[in-house]
Structure 1
Amino acid sequence: MAFRASDARDVVLPLAQAAYTVMTGATPTLPSGFSSTALIEADPAHLAALPDPHPAAAMAKNTHIFGLMGQDTASRTAFIAFRGSSDVSDWIADFDFVPTQYSPISGFGQVHAGFQDIYDCVRDSVATNLPAAVRGCDQILITGHSLGAALAVLAAPDIARGMPPNTIEPRLTTFGGPRVGLPDFATAFDAAIECCYRVVNFLDIVPLVPPSPYVHVGAAIEVDSGGAVDVGWRHSLAAYHAGLSALIASQT
């Protein structure tokens, strides 16, 4: 499926934003036709067992809600949206993790151990709620911003092969995501998940970490939000909205 900037801005990005809204207990504003079927909740016991410091600690401040799931019955599309941390500075320095084998699928390559730890905290929630989200659907859209984008990447092959109904290949559109795995994982991922777009804003530093040997999956869609040259703005979903709007304007 070809990348459409208007869909990324008007449908997918609001779903990524909704993943932040629900962490406060507020009701999210979803794109027209979309409804939520479940929240994605981290297992408190799993979180408590992680070493300190850990990127998960930044994500779990005051809440165990890591996103939401749902569907649009008209387009027969289920969605899974993961949030990141509310403050990039809380986690961006916590990259002292060696690669580890991607645990959901044997022989699928190596990934960032810290990111996988976070995914392991929410995997049961996703698996439990997936059947309701995909009921009546023939498409699965997965999205996320920042650390949520890393979770989206880790979830996609697992959902395709390890979680019933195992009959729908997910498609991804993420925003400002970090590198998740080593080249062996990227090769396996790109062979298994044909539609994966990473929207990357100019001067956003998060897509540049962790450093080599970590690499990205999928295809990069570059945008330029303009505005302040600082991490807070360039990495924000508001900046990604501005960057996609500029891309749309340049194409008309």
Structure 2
Amino acid sequence: MAQSCYDSFDFDPHSKYCGTCKYDPPRFFHRLGMSDRGYTLTRYLYATSNINLPNFFQKSTTNNNNIWSPHANWMGYVAVATDDHELRRLGRRDVVVAWRGTVTYLEWIHDLKDILRPAHFRDDPNVKIESGFFDLYTSKEKEQNCAFCSFSAREQVLAELRRIIHRFRGEDLSITITGHSLGAALALLSAYDVAEVKLNSGIPITVFSFGGPRVGNLRFKERCDELGVKVLRVVNVHDRVPTVPGIITNEKFQYQKYLEDAMSFPWSYAHVGVELGLDHTHSPFLKNTMDLRCAHNLEAHLHLLDGYHAKGEKFWLASKRDVALVNKSCDFLKPEYGVPPNWWQDEHKGMVRSGEGRWVVPERPRMEAHPADTAHHFEQVIKYAK
């Protein structure tokens, strides 16, 4: 579900739809070959691109009067388990929030200012979050008259979760939040927020994070633990992104020293949850490369996760996940497997032939910006929190 955020996102700067999802919600899982997963997509999530992370957002280079939005980027979605078989398998109705990261471009990590600011989602000013992540999660652009930015990403996800929880009240529910890279930061931040405002109220909340950076200070980590937010951080030990912001090392002595410093200095960053460290050199399918984008790639993480069984155990693919997927957006597979690099793209890059015989970018259905009851549900979240 985290990978689907990449496979459905329009990265093409020549497209007037750059920065949005390529598929409309009713056909989202079908177009991605995920119709059998048992989930129904209920809402798309957006964030304003007018914040200080310029290398993360995608914008169209075409005429501004012709693009879908000059200020917004599609950031992910909310989905709920609706299939009877899936409900029986899980023993509950699961709600998923999936956040988009960035496929290969790592320049955004250089824009992190290493500035911690109070979250203020509750009353403790000592809970602090990296300022870029906070702005991405909480900013909106009402004055710009952008329908997609009239609510912040925070307001959107809290309102949608409240609507779903209210709709299925009385049932056993769970909330699962996932993301890769910067999307992993949003996943942790939103999970903390949901728990802090008590929106989950007895509903277990879990984060599956892939290649995520550190999000907040030690008090943020402690508060997540106190609130019962469960986090599994899947990382490639050769990936640099999980080491930012700040400096960390795998050496036990220095790591202990880091923790002691974090206890002494509340502005120090700290990871949350349990780490599952994977090593791409253990896979017989992957070549040696110094390309940091390969080490950070999400499909590579999923490949390593499929082949990992225990520390020191032999690497073998449990689900027979197609190794060709690794090269969707990078060049990581050994040449003998005959898979071209960066092969994932729409046929003809989305161009179709019109009735007049001309090749054009087809019009897409106008996406709903926000459901009409968004403000109501968010107000109810804040009212309950207070």
TM tier relative to shorter chain: 0.7 to 0.9
User: What does residue 59 of structure 1 align with?
Assistant: 57
- The 5 Å alignment of 1:1-252 reads 15-24=1-10, 25-26=22-23, 27-28=28-29, 29=32, 30=34, 32-42=37-47, 44=48, 47-48=49-50, 50=51, 54-55=52-53, 58-62=56-60, 64-73=73-82, 74=87, 75=90, 76-107=93-124, 109-121=127-139, 122-134=153-165, 135-136=167-168, 138-162=173-197, 164=199, 166-212=201-247, 213-226=268-281, 227=286, 228-248=289-309, 250=313
Instruction: Confirm or deny: 8 A CA contact 2:116 2:128 kept in the other structure.
Output: yes
Moved more, 145-154 or 87-96: 87-96
Look up the equivalent residue of 1:119 and give its one-letter code.
Y
Aligned residues: percent identity? 30
Deviations 1:203-238 (A, max 9, x none): 011001111421101110111233334211111111
Look up the equivalent residue of 2:53 and give its one-letter code.
P
Moved more, 138-147 or 85-94: 85-94
Instruction: Confirm or deny: 8 A CA contact 1:186 1:215 kept in the other structure.
Output: yes
Aligned equivalents of 1:178, 1:206: Cα separation in 2 = 6
Residues 104 and 22 of structure 1: CA distance in aligned 2, closer, same or farther (over 3 Å)? farther
Unaligned 5+ residue runs, structure 1?
1-14
> For 1:245, what is the secondary structure of its paired residue?
helix
User: What does residue 9 of structure 1 align with?
Assistant: none
> For 1:59, what is the secondary structure of its paired residue?
coil
Aligned equivalents of 2:104, 2:197: Cα separation in 1 = 32
Instruction: Confirm or deny: 8 A CA contact 2:106 2:293 kept in the other structure.
Output: no
Q: Could you tell me how far 1:103 is from its partner in structure 2? A: 2.7
Aligned equivalents of 1:197, 1:99: Cα separation in 2 = 23
TM-score scaled by structure 2? Answer: 0.55
> For 2:301, what is the secondary structure of its paired residue?
helix
> For 2:111, what is the secondary structure of its paired residue?
coil
Aligned equivalents of 1:32, 1:205: Cα separation in 2 = 32
Aligned equivalents of 2:188, 2:215: Cα separation in 1 = 8
Deviations 1:183-215 (A, max 9, x none): 111111122134211001120110011114211
Kindly indicate whether structure 1 or structure 2 has the higher relative contact order, using CA contacts under 8 Å at least 6 residues apart.
1
Deviations 1:166-185 (A, max 9, x none): 44231111100001111111
Q: Could you tell me how far 1:163 is from its partner in structure 2? A: 6.5
> For 1:106, what is the secondary structure of its paired residue?
coil
Moved more, 229-238 or 160-169: 160-169
Residues 22 and 160 of structure 1: CA distance in aligned 2, closer, same or farther (over 3 Å)? farther
TM-score scaled by structure 1? Answer: 0.82
Q: Give the superposed CA RMSD.
A: 2.3
Deviations 1:122-172 (A, max 9, x none): 111112222344443510001110000001111112112326454423111
